[in-house]
Homo-oligomer: A and B are copies of this chain.
Amino acid sequence: MRGKQAKRGKLVVLVLTTSVLLSYALLADTFAEIDASLDSAIVTVESGKIRGYVEDGIYVFRGIPYAKATRFMLPEKVERWDGVLDTRVYGECCPTPPIEAVFDPVELVIPHVYWPQNENCLFLNIWTPGIEDGRKRPVMVWLHGGGFSTGSSIEQKAYDGKNLSENGDVVVVSINHRLNVLGFLDLSAYGEKYRYSGNVGMADIVAALEWIKSNIEHFGGDPENITLFGQSGGGGKILTLMAMPAAKGLFQKAIVQSGLFSTFSPVLPQNISRRVAALTLENLGVSPTEVDDLQSIPYQTLLTAASKAQAQVAEETGQRVSWAPVLDGEYITVNVGMETSPLSRDVPVMLGTTFGEMDANLFAGFGKNSWSPEEIAARMADKYGDKAEAIAQAFRKAYPRKPLVDALFIDTTGRPATLAWARLKCQDPAPVYVYIFAYEIPVNGGMVAFHCAEIPFVFHNTDLVPMATGGGVDAFIMAEVVSRAWVNFARYGDPNHDLLPEWPAFTIKNGATMVFDKTSWVGYEHDDELYNLLSTK
């Protein structure tokens, strides 16, 4: 009897202790802990000393200058500085065309961070669990989206690297670099000094990767285990880097999130890029021999002339012309997105799309889950014409657990391009992992996973943007599932972990895709029939 009592007593103590500790842990986690004193996070990098700060045990450095930008020129080394450079505030971002979306409810879901802009925008940010500790953690380098035209390393709230660094015990780096007319105006026809001007935005990223390789050891990172991850335009940048001699050896793995679309090519043929430059000069009234005058033209004037030139070329060619790196046969040698490059045969790649991408335009499907079968049928007929019934059947086969209404919002342009590229890439020795992020966002009665939807889950920042994730415990758990796959891929080149079913590398034969969802599952060519129908609709 006494034994039983003692046992029960011990159990009670254990349960109580656990419970109290749990409370405490949760409480501790509720509140941020911060140390920004002058000497808590000082690191010596190649150009001098820098000062960061510590938040929740993570060392944070913002706005480290990794290179210096002169308009249209390749990035240069930063000059050495004396004393300690304060790198606790983000650096300026590249000037961009004005954002129109401020009053759009999309802003509500994906809050935009505005920040001062400057042409000299070559700054990077680092989050790490340790400095100068001799540890060699995987390094994850984030390349932001916004095509090659807009965005920044801090444009979306969910880009904050602290939680990913903390949860994954990894070093997270994010980068600003030149964009749009500043990063990709191809003046190569006007003299040797402008030879690379159509690719300086990419050259900036190369400079950042060189900086990371040379310095990341001071931040507890492994210079030999660097994983690029990026979304949309960021994915396009990674695909491009994989085909660039200058970037060879500067990274070991790559995660391409929603970076391939059948409607968009990450590179421009040089005849197009040079035509844009020629018309830009013409619009500015600058003759080819006066091309140096472009150095001093105000950014807005330059951008306006170049945007007009893009529209003119689009009219001439009948094709949309966006800012993009230039396929010059030297700096970039491969028609990125359509081909793979021998330069990255040994680079394992994880790539995927969201369930809805551009077809799930956030608020279009408001209330979708309460639409009647008749309304859904009518909309299916409206969208898919005489293929509607066949698509409905194929959708039910591909996604037996999704409601039929989601067939109205399924991605039609990202998945085919992604699969096509995966089929090429999987012929290289390094493995390829393919995913679809299909988690329904439980906000506004349910939203199909839109373009960008996976980002807060990858960064474990679901609670920073509750409107994009639903917030709460469910989103937190989903973040754990997704984020761990990203971290394991970065650490081991294999995304598998305990919370997922076995995820085999993609082959032409197995067509394996991890479908991230409330219950994640692996599909084997599960949507081939569906996409055959969608592509011929």
Contacts and interface: CB of A to CB of B under 8 A. Distances in A.
Contacts of A86: 103, 105
A463 interface: yes
A38 B473 contact: no
A306 to B, nearest CB: 22
Interface stretch (A19-27, A71-79, A141-149, A525-533): A19-27
Nearest to A444: B37
A473 B24 CA distance: 11
B102 A443 contact: no
A30 interface: yes
B36 A443 contact: yes
Contacts of A190: none
Interface in A18-48: 19-20, 22-23, 26-27, 29-38
A444 B19 CA distance: 33
A390 interface: no
A59 to B, nearest CB: 14
Contact of A16 (B15, B37, B63, B444): B15
A114 interface: yes
B23 A466 contact: no
B108 A463 contact: no
Contacts of A34: 443, 466-467, 470-471
B444 A36 contact: yes
Given A16-B19, A30-B26, A108 B466 contact: no
Interface centre among A105, A109, A113 (most CB of B within 10 A): A105
Contacts of A99: 116
Contact of A116 (B114, B116, B444): B114
A107 interface: yes
A180 B121 CA distance: 30
A195 interface: no
A127 B272 CA distance: 51
20 contacts: A12-B12, A12-B16, A16-B16, A19-B20, A23-B23, A26-B27, A27-B473, A29-B30, A32-B463, A32-B472, A34-B471, A35-B443, A36-B105, A36-B467, A37-B367, A37-B444, A89-B107, A91-B103, A99-B116, A114-B114
Q: Which 10 A-B pairs have the closest CB atoms?
A: A114-B114, A32-B466, A19-B19, A32-B471, A31-B472, A26-B26, A34-B466, A37-B444, A89-B107, A88-B108
Given A30-B463, A55-B466, A88-B108, 20 more contacts: A12-B12, A19-B19, A23-B26, A31-B473, A32-B463, A32-B466, A34-B466, A34-B470, A34-B471, A35-B444, A36-B443, A37-B366, A37-B443, A37-B445, A38-B367, A86-B103, A88-B105, A89-B103, A89-B104, A91-B103
Interface of A: 12, 15-16, 19-20, 22-23, 26-27, 29-38, 53, 55, 63, 86, 88-89, 91-92, 99, 102-105, 107-109, 113-116, 366-367, 443-445, 463, 466-467, 470-473, 475-476
